[in-house]
Amino acid sequence: MNSKSIRLLTALALTLCASTAYAQDGAADEDPLAAVETYQQKLFEKVAPSVIFISQGNSIGSGFFVDAQGLALTNKHVVGEAKEVKVVLQDGRKLTAKVVERAKGETDLALVKVPVKSSKALSLTGFDDLRVGSWVGSVGHGVGGVWTFTKGMVSNIYPSDKSRPIFQTQIPLNPGASGGPVFDRKGRVVGVVTAGITDSNSVNFAIRSDVALGSLDGLSEQCRCLVVTAPEGVPVFVNGKMMGKGPEVRVQLSDGKHEVFAVIKGKMKKKKVAFPKTKAVELE
């Protein structure tokens, strides 16, 4: 056997070995797409029981439980000016819920109280881990489809000091999805569906979950926040970023030292706090 034949046989043997190893690895590893499907199905099963269908008049929307006593978060435009709204739970129960709070100003959030003995709450955490490109999903309702699971990614995040503290997603949503949860891959709520651009494909917006915690008194117990009081309409800054305006601003913070300030009647009012030892600051 000449040297050329030996080289060919050697190459063939190496190829067969590699193919066998690949086949064995493939047999050992389950179908990766099947694993993704299973995970997403479990995520839907975790989130969907917390989502409710809301209707009042000709308006429909979504909401979701945020505590174990029937308190649900939704959009202010979903409940409108109504004192009560009709809700449907995933188990088919049809109930009448009371609108107990609307966020002040232009913040499109509201709370409704559903008369149930217990409810499965979703956690309003995880926004700090959100990045452009992060996977997000939503369970909500739309024309012709209830408890619909859609997914996409975060395409932009607007700073909290902007007039609209929101983030943009590419989740395909219907108008009836407004008020539903936007959650991360761990099932943590990172935002609340608020609006879409009707003449664009899959361009939708969500109100940040930290904004929800800081905008509604009914969520104050769930907010691991520093409460800053200042004169009405005065911008409040925390660590150099505007976080809202007086008379009260709630800010989610990590443990440690932080700087809080505001300009009141032309004078800088500044305080340093160690959170969570200090949980309330007054600027006057």
What is the set of active-site residues?
A: 77, 108, 178
Burial of 224 (0-12, 13-18, 19+ CB in 10 A): middle
State how far the Cα of 226 lies from the Cα of 250, in Å rounded to an integer: 6
Burial of 244 (0-12, 13-18, 19+ CB in 10 A): buried
State how far the Cα of 165 lies from the Cα of 169, in Å rounded to an integer: 14
Q: What is the DSSP string of 50-118?
A: GEEEEEETTEEEEEEE-STTSEEEE-HHHHTT-SEEEEE-TTS-EEEEEEEEE-STT---EEEE---S-
On the CB side of 83, CA atoms within 13 Å amount to 0
> Strand, coil or helix: what is 9?
helix
State how far the Cα of 165 lies from the Cα of 253, in Å rounded to an integer: 17
State how far the Cα of 193 lies from the Cα of 148, in Å rounded to an integer: 14
State how far the Cα of 239 lies from the Cα of 257, in Å rounded to an integer: 10
State how far the Cα of 9 lies from the Cα of 126, in Å rounded to an integer: 57
Tokens of 197: 């651009």
Phi and psi at 154, nearest 5°, equal: -80, 125
State how far the Cα of 179 lies from the Cα of 128, in Å rounded to an integer: 21
List of residues 6+ apart from 200 with CB closer than 8 A: none
